[in-house]
Amino acid sequence: MSWREPSIILTEMTWREAAAALALQPVGLLPIGAIEAHGPHLPLDSDVIIADATARRAARRLLSSNVPALVLPPVWYGVSFVGRSFAGTSPVDPAAFEAHLRSVLINHLEAGCRAIVICNAHLEPEHVARVRAACAAAESHAARPVLFPDQREEPYAAHLSAEFRAGARHAGNYETAIIMAARPSAVRDGIRRTLPSVWIDLPAQLRAGARSFAEAGATDAYFGDPAAATVDEGERLLDALAHIVMLACAERGLAPVDG
């Protein structure tokens, strides 16, 4: 089988092509996002766009290291209650989300993936906790690796931007730059250029008791500096996110150490 895009994308295959791909026991890359407000300049599916772009870039990097890879269909809905003060945000009950994700993981592993790496772009604390729990349950059930490299944690965060590490990581420079690189037509660029920076550490506000973006101080559903975002920065960040996937794979012996 020829491993060229779009042949690494499961949803774009026929069932015969999928059978041939799964016979190689690929590493599956599962994008996970949420439907959530991302300022006045980015679409509600921004997390899905970022997660899917990360998975595709990581898959190409795995293939270049002679590791079969397969980009799995994204999980679109997540635990996104923090953004519900803004229209369009569509959260899922945490228990239902965890059960759904566990089932998705188990079935992909039983279908032929030698392992699955989570490419998660939605960082609400309860969402992350449920992803982690589903991964542990699926790995235990299927006896195959399920990796969840959490980019908030070291050493992974060191590869990302200063804005991300400072906590102003929702629809600011970090996410906006990635969307500009991955899907530029999705950005309302005229609006983006006019937005003032909002320097608030969102994770710190949530730990202090804020229950929504609005309570954390975001009056327009973004934090950080989207006006400063560039395509070049987005490309660098996508490379960094793909590198994080490779680091996680190397830690579990699924791929060579990524240079």
Q: Residue 210 has which token pair? A: 């804020």
Reported confidence tier of residue 7, pLDDT bands at 50, 70, 90? confident
Burial class (CB in 10 A: 0-12, 13-18, 19+), 69: buried
Q: Regarding the domain delimited by 10-161+239-251, which CATH topology (the fold level of the hierarchy) does it fall under?
A: Rossmann fold (3.40.50)
Please state the rounded mean pLDDT for residues 222-233: 97
Reported confidence tier of residue 258, pLDDT bands at 50, 70, 90? confident
pLDDT at 3: 42
**Tens digits of per-residue pLDDT, 23-45?**
999 999 999 999 999 999 999 99
Model confidence, pTM = 0.95
Residue 160 CA to residue 179 CA, distance in Å, equals: 15
**Tens digits of per-residue pLDDT, 232-255?**
999 999 999 999 999 999 999 999
181-184 contacts, C-beta under 8 A, 24 or more apart? 181/53, 181/231, 181/234, 181/235, 181/237, 181/238, 182/49, 182/50, 182/52, 182/53, 182/234, 182/238, 183/49, 183/53, 184/231
pLDDT at 259: 59
**Tens digits of per-residue pLDDT, 100-129?**
999 999 999 999 999 999 999 999 999 999
Burial class (CB in 10 A: 0-12, 13-18, 19+), 94: middle
Percentage of residues in the chain having pLDDT higher than 70: 97
**Tens digits of per-residue pLDDT, 175-204?**
999 999 999 999 999 999 999 999 999 989
pLDDT at 4: 47
Residue 195 CA to residue 225 CA, distance in Å, equals: 8
